[in-house]
Amino acid sequence: MSITTTLHDRRTFLKLSLGAAAATVSAVAAPLSFAQGNPRVLRVGNQKGYLNLLKGRGTLEKRLAPLNVSVTWTEFAAGPVQLEALNVGSIDFGDVGEAPPIFAQAAGAPLAYVAATVKRPQSEAVLVPPQSTIRSVADLKGKRIALNKGSNVHYFLVKLLRQHGLQYGDVKLVFLAPADARAAFERASIDAWVIWDPFFAAAEQSLGARVIADASGVVGNRAFYFSSQSYAANNPDVIRIVIEELDKVDQWGQQNKDQLASELAQLWGLPKQVVEVAVRRQQFGTLPITRAILGEQQQIADTFLDLGLIPKHVDVLKAAPSNLA
């Protein structure tokens, strides 16, 4: 990805994080006692991605040891399950795409956004089989399109259709998880598939899938790091450190894309040449949460409410960090 987090962004992020930490420690007595030696735990819920890479390096544990903070790791298959674990108090930190936090807030989860990635629009797309007669977004009218319900690509498709003068009801949606959608795609029982990397890259490489449109100029496709409101408020020093360590992995990946592809290929169980395609179009950078970023999330929440995917209005700002810019 050509857009990177600038040094100024990183310094601003660190300044804001440190400011929030100082303010919170002054206001809350408990973290001060923690810093003096009382033990704490950071329970990380991770999907197979950057958090796994961080876990393998062991650097987070080393950074947190002087603060008497231990780290536990639990792997999850998808973001919604991670957020359910947060809701019931089983984890303190995790990573997720754009859409699942909206559903979590609608369900009353005590979510707190703590950082975001840069936009990655080239990492999700509408795919069709190589022999398909579909050549444009307009050709999707009346077609059977598979996607993961309530996911980032669900929102992408809604916005893409509107951008091209089509309505949500102009297509026939088939709600399938990625593995089932790929099988349906191979059998030609669907006309198109809206999907993200590395499934996107795998379909291109092994099935010859054609791209009708990616999310460039349509939606941002960010990922988010989250915590619970209480954990973020009471442990700002821990949150700051875990974000710093994740950003270091991100910077390393940007400078070492071949090695990054090798590590992710092993993690995902995919051929390296498939992962290389996904890494080439990935954009790198970790950002603080801002009102503008949460404004993007509010648009997703409002769209999902209009579509009847969530039962009530969600005020995204209620999940904002205390140092919101």
| Rg, C-alpha atoms of the chain | 20
DSSP state of 78: S
Calculate the CA 205 to chain-centre distance.
24
- What does the alpha-carbon distance between residue 178 and residue 216 come to, in Å, rounded to a whole number? 21
DSSP state of 116: E
208-256 pLDDT per residue, tens: 999 999 999 999 999 999 999 999 999 999 999 999 999 999 999 999 9
Strand 192-196, strand 124-128: pairing: antiparallel
Handedness of CA 4, 321, 124, 121 (dihedral sign): negative
Tell me which residue of 109, 115, 92 sits closest to 45, measured CA to CA.
Answer: 92
* Model pTM score: 0.82
- CATH number 3.30.470.10 given to 121-214: no
Within 8 A by CB and 6+ apart from 20, the residues are 236, 240, 321, 322, 323
- What does the alpha-carbon distance between residue 325 and residue 322 come to, in Å, rounded to a whole number? 9
Structure confidence at residue 31 (pLDDT): 44
Count the neighbouring beta carbons within 10 Å of the beta carbon of residue 207: 15
Domain 7-119+222-319 and domain 121-214, same fold? Reply is yes
The H-or-E segment that residue 115 falls in is strand 111-117
User: Hey, where are the domains in the chain?
Assistant: 7-119+222-319, 121-214
Count the neighbouring beta carbons within 10 Å of the beta carbon of residue 165: 10
Contact 111, 104 (CB under 8 A): yes
Contact 270, 259 (CB under 8 A): no
- CATH number 3.40.190.10 given to 7-119+222-319: yes
Segments in the chain below pLDDT 50: 1-36
